[in-house]
Amino acid sequence: MYLTKEEKQELFKKHGNSAKNTGSAEGQIALFTQRISHLSGHLKTNRKDYNTERSLVRLVGKRRNLLDYLMKKDILRYRAIVKELGLRK
């Protein structure tokens, strides 16, 4: 896999407030962002990998849904995670 167990725990600790808090919206968004960047790099070298392309589109949709949920729930948390991950320019 592209992330080790320790790297995932560090990611959730940084964005999800705890290494054990894997269900938080911020942690999930950060994990999806990491996976999206990994798959994007893979697709740059393997252009005809259509299964990975489909997976990437699904991941972007999942992240979009979580971001929409967070925006409705708590706009300050939404703005913080977007700024932290650099999703909007």
Q: What angle do CA 11, 13, 15 make, to 5 degrees?
A: 65
Could you say which residues of the chain have pLDDT below 50? none
Q: pLDDT by residue (tens digit) across 30-46?
A: 999 999 999 999 999 99
Nearest to 32 by CA among 63, 53, 4, 9: 63
* Distance from the first to the final alpha carbon of the chain: 30
Number of domains in the chain: 1
In terms of residue numbers, what domain contains 70? 5-85
Helix residue ranges per DSSP H, 1-89: 5-15, 25-45, 50-73, 75-85
Residue-level pLDDT at 19:
83
Residue written as tokens 């999703």? 87
